[in-house]
């Protein structure tokens, strides 16, 4: 990038940040937003408060206070990010992508830190975990919400909560509930999605799938191989007539001759739907080819068949890896569309790479609850700017390829 282009990027950043100036009322505090975003999108090796402040020639303490003490709403800034995305990048076939990421941290003072699975290191590690909502279209993808996961041990420790500044209104939520809350907020703020995808940590939760369905979205979510159900609805025993004594029987039950539910990895020992081959996408290492089987499926819920869904079993032809997906999409939905959605999680994985490699999302050294949420909100702004500049310069990766077609062909999204 030459000097003239660098100057243009700087001008664009100033113009871009004007969209967020009313999110922070105090003019002095508002200047710190520009300082922090400029530092995050700069070429600094370490993008925590001190190096960003020193580069901008401002006292590090003032930038620290911007995150920790100043009164401005991270939720307001998050809402503005969503408004900008809807104004400039709306797509009727947009996909909501849910995922989480871990940031390794030392000690036990950072809000939410504990030994837990950390995706960044691929093992149980001392880290904080955040849950994110991404927005993905054919030519654009960005994170539009981020929230901190608070383990139960943190939520139950009142002195620790007080020291971290965690409000009394903040209670324990499993990760799937945080994701559903983010999605619900975005939808009610006017963000329009057609689809949703998530990995098995979210897809396994029936309440999560039901919540997504109630918001009017079609989902294709990965589920563990232990999920059980039926490819045909099992026979149900008739509810006996009330004899006038005792409590009436109101709950349906399986007939005595009904077949038991089976795990999805044990449905077909012989026969079953034929495998179809799909060219999912191209990578630097070559084409990604998967085989898929698809059938209608009734998930077992408390031993009973729930609503009818799609079950997709996908197998990587190179290494034999098998994935299982459930979808509430209409019964006439082509399998290539379902696979297209199910395999679109790479968008948010790329966002995590950019957030840590480009803007130092995991470099934060603040510890308090409010300060971390402020850091998350500003990071959304920085990532959105980079996504828009990459799109303008034509050097950014496309959001989503066309839906994969059977036998290596190409369908339409």
Contact 413, 337 (CB under 8 A): yes
Structure tokens at 395: 């050097």
State the Cα–Cα distance between residues 202 and 221, nearest whole angstrom.
Answer: 8
Given its phi and psi angles, is residue 147 left (phi above 0), alpha (psi -120 to 50 degrees) or beta? beta
Counting Cβ atoms within 10 Å, is residue 45 exposed (0-12), middle (13-18) or buried (19+)? exposed
Nearest Cα neighbor of 131 from 206, 185, 54, 77 is 185
Higher pLDDT, 223 or 396: 223
Q: What pLDDT sits at residue 2?
A: 57
> Would you tell me how many other CB atoms lie within 10 Å of the CB of residue 350?
16
Kindly state the tokens that stand for 299. 């998930």
**Cα dihedral: 343, 347, 352, 354 (round 10):** 140
- The crossing angle, in degrees rounded to 10, of helices 369-393 and 27-40 is 60
* Paired tokens of 49: 């408060």
* pLDDT the model gives residue 281: 78
Distance CA 79, CA 75 (A): 6
pLDDT in tens, 38-69: 999 999 999 999 999 999 999 999 999 999 98
Report d(CA 340, CA 342) in Å as an integer.
6
Q: Which one is predicted more confidently, 99 or 73?
A: 99
For residue 255 the two structure tokens come to 């007939």
Question: Three-class SS string for 44-60?
Answer: CCCCCHHHHHHHHCCCH
Least confident interval from 56-65, 178-187, 275-284: 275-284
* Mean of pLDDT values over 223-247: 81
Instruction: Flag whether pLDDT at 391 surpasses 90.
Output: no
CA dist., res. 397 & res. 384, Å (int): 14
Q: Which two tokens stand for residue 146?
A: 């981020």
| Strands 95-104, 195-198: pairing kind | parallel
Average pLDDT over residues 309-314: 96
Q: What is the three-state SS of 130-156?
A: EEEEEEECCCCEEEEEEEECCCHHHHC
- Kindly give, in sequence order, each residue whose CB lies less than 8 Å from that of residue 101, ignoring residues fewer than 6 positions away: 119, 120, 129, 130, 132, 352, 355, 356
Mean pLDDT of 295-320: 93
Instruction: Tell me the mean pLDDT in the region 214-243.
Output: 88
Flag whether pLDDT at 411 surpasses 80: no
Over residues 94-116, the mean pLDDT reads 96
Domains of the chain: which residue ranges? Answer: 3-199+347-393, 223-341
Dig out the tokens for 185 from the structure. 């907020």
Confidence of residue 6 (pLDDT cuts 50, 70, 90): low
Give the pTM.
0.91
Using 50, 70 and 90 to split pLDDT, how confident is the model at 4?
A: low
Mean pLDDT over 375-383 rounds to: 97
Q: Where in 213-275 does DSSP place strands (E)?
A: 218-223, 228-230, 236-237, 253-254, 262-263
Q: Which range has the worst mean pLDDT, 22-26, 77-81, 200-204, 252-256?
A: 252-256
Q: Report whether 206 contacts 302 (CB < 8 A).
A: no
Q: Whole-number mean pLDDT of the chain?
A: 90
Residues 6+ apart with CB under 8 A from 393: none
What proportion of the chain, given as a percentage, has pLDDT over 90? 74
């Amino acid at each position: 990038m030459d000097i003239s282009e660098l100057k243009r990027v700087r001008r664009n950043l100033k113009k871009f940040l004007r969209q967020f100036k009313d999110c922070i009322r105090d003019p002095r505090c508002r200047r710190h937003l520009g300082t922090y975003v400029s530092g995050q999108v700069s070429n600094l090796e370490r993008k925590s408060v001190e190096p960003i402040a020193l580069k901008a020639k401002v006292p590090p303490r003032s930038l620290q206070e911007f995150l920790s003490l100043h009164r401005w709403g991270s939720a307001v800034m998050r809402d503005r990010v969503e408004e900008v995305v809807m104004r400039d990048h709306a797509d009727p076939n947009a996909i909501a992508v849910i995922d989480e990421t871990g940031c390794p941290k030392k000690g036990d003072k950072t809000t939410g830190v504990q030994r837990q699975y950390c995706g960044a290191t691929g093992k149980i590690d001392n880290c904080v975990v955040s849950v994110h909502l991404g927005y993905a279209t054919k030519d654009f993808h960005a994170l539009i919400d981020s929230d901190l996961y608070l383990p139960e041990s943190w939520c139950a420790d009142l002195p620790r909560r007080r020291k971290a500044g965690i409000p009394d209104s903040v209670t324990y939520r499993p990760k799937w509930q945080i994701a559903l809350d983010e999605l619900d907020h975005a939808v009610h703020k006017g963000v329009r999605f057609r689809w949703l995808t998530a990995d098995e940590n979210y897809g396994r939760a029936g309440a999560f799938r039901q919540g997504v369905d109630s918001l009017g979205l079609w989902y294709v979510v990965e589920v563990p191989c232990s999920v059980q159900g039926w490819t045909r609805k099992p026979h149900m025993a008739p509810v006996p007539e009330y004899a006038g004594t005792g409590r009436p029987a109101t709950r349906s039950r399986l007939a005595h001759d009904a077949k038991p539910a089976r795990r999805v990895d044990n449905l077909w020992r012989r026969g079953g739907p034929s495998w179809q081959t799909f060219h999912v996408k191209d990578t630097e290492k070559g084409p990604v080819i998967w085989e898929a089987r698809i059938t209608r499926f009734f998930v077992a819920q408390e031993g009973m068949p729930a609503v009818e869904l799609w079950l997709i079993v996908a197998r990587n032809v190179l290494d034999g890896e098998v994935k299982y997906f459930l979808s509430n999409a209409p019964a006439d939905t082509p399998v290539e569309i379902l696979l297209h959605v199910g395999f679109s999680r790479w968008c948010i994985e790329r966002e995590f790479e950019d957030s840590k490699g480009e803007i130092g999302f995991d470099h934060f050294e603040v510890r308090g609850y409010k300060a971390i949420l402020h850091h998350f909100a500003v990071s959304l702004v920085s990532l959105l700017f980079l996504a828009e500049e990459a799109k303008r310069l034509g050097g950014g990766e496309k959001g989503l390829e066309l839906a994969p077609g059977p036998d290596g062909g190409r369908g339409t999204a």
